[in-house]
């Protein structure tokens, strides 16, 4: 890169580092140190700011030093992009559901290992005697003669890399002859069992992987990201953060919140009122509802936990 371009990058780095440092200072003043560092995203922001300052200072003080590679500290510049995860609601939701799906990963991994083991053993017994031929898909780097080699063939097939050619090379064809070291040398060693063998293996692997991915798209799972949405929309009706809003605003609020926590925009106003009455939500004497009671009522409804209480507190006037 030209020196002028490097100078522009350094200037931009200083500007953005200053912006992030100002954000850090304002947040510490607003939240205080204990509350600020209690949030994992704030800790991550602090690490980025600290690393960026170390990058700038180390680059100015020891520009030619080889004790620590300066490229290591420049990684903090790239990490700034991760801050977008804390801003994008959709990205955070996808990330949370993806992490939740990893709870079932050990069981899925165990099934995959068992599937590979069974098919590798079967492949060694049925296709292990096929002679290696560089003109086919069964060669020295791709064969069923040993267990590790069979697992590699199956892994390649699971990724979809020319698994059809491997299947055809293992089928009953003139090119699929037995190895010279076997008892049936120069005899056909291919088997039409290759068709159901490879097709069933590929379908089972695709099913397991797609099932794992499908878990990450289950938006009906109630999680912390729904709480963030509730807090954000509640603040629109409670700008002073008193923890209370008028009961007339609750219906509008819950229609703005997406399911499963809220009702959604497609829910009719009359139906939303009926559902709100059935939630048995306490109503204060001044006609307001509390933040905690509203949230707990929504969670109870979503989890189908119904409680008995004074029905008079659940009556709302919906206009």
Q: Note the pLDDT of residue 100.
A: 64
What is the pLDDT, as a whole number, of residue 214? Answer: 60
As a whole number of angstroms, the distance between CA 19 and CA 14 comes to 9
Average pLDDT along the chain: 79
Q: Quick one: which H or E segment has residue 195? A: helix 194-215
Give the right CATH number for 104-215 from 3.30.465.10, 3.40.228.10, 1.10.1530.10, 1.10.287.70.
1.10.287.70
User: What pLDDT score was predicted for residue 178?
Assistant: 86
Diameter of the chain measured on Cα atoms:
94
Kind and range of the H or E run holding 11: helix 3-36
Q: Which two three-digit tokens encode residue 150?
A: 């069979």
DSSP codes of every residue in 32-50: HHHHHTTSHHHHHHHHHHH
Residue 184 pLDDT exceeds 80: no
Specify the higher pLDDT residue, 253 or 78.
253
Say yes or no to pLDDT of 318 above 50: no
Q: Between 241 and 102, where is the model more confident?
A: 241
For residue 33, whether the previous peptide bond is cis, meaning omega lies within 30 degrees of 0, is no
Reduced 3-state DSSP string for 270-286: HHHHHHHHHCCCCCCCC
Pick the range with the lowest mean pLDDT from 51-65, 108-122, 217-231, 265-279. 217-231
Q: Are 132 and 261 in contact (CB under 8 A)?
A: no
CATH architecture of 224-314: Orthogonal Bundle (1.10)
pLDDT band at 70 (very low <50, low <70, confident <90, very high): low
Domain ranges of the chain: 3-86, 104-215, 224-314
């Amino acid at each position: 890169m030209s020196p002028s371009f490097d100078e522009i990058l350094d200037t931009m780095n200083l500007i953005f580092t200053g912006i992030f440092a100002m954000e850090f200072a304002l947040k510490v003043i607003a939240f205080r140190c204990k509350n600020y560092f209690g949030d994992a995203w704030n800790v991550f922001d602090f690490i980025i700011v600290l690393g960026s300052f170390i990058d700038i200072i180390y680059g100015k003080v020891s520009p030619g030093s080889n004790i620590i590679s300066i490229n290591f500290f420049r990684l903090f510049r790239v990490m700034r992009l991760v801050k977008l995860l804390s801003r994008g609601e959709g990205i955070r939701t996808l990330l949370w559901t993806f992490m939740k799906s990893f709870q079932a990963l050990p069981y899925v991994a165990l099934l995959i290992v068992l599937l590979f083991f069974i098919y590798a053993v079967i492949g060694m017994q049925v296709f292990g005697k096929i002679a290696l031929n560089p003109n086919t898909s069964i060669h020295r780097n791709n064969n069923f003669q040993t267990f590790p080699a069979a697992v590699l063939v199956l892994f390649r097939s699971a990724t979809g890399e020319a698994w059809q050619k491997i299947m055809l090379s293992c089928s009953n064809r003139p090119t699929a002859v037995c190895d010279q070291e076997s008892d049936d040398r120069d005899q056909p060693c291919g088997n039409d069992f290759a068709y159901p063998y490879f097709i069933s293996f590929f379908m089972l692997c695709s099913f397991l992987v797609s099932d794992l991915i499908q878990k990450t798209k289950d938006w009906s799972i109630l999680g912390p990201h729904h709480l963030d949405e509730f807090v954000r929309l509640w603040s629109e009706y409670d700008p002073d953060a008193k923890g209370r809003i008028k009961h007339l605003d609750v219906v509008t609020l819950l229609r703005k919140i997406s399911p499963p926590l809220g009702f959604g925009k497609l829910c009719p106003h009359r139906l939303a009122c009926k559902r709100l009455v059935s939630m048995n939500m306490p109503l204060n004497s001044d006609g307001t509802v509390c933040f905690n009671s509203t949230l707990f009522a929504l969670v109870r409804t979503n989890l189908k936990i119904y409680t008995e209480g004074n029905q008079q507190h659940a009556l709302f006037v919906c206009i």
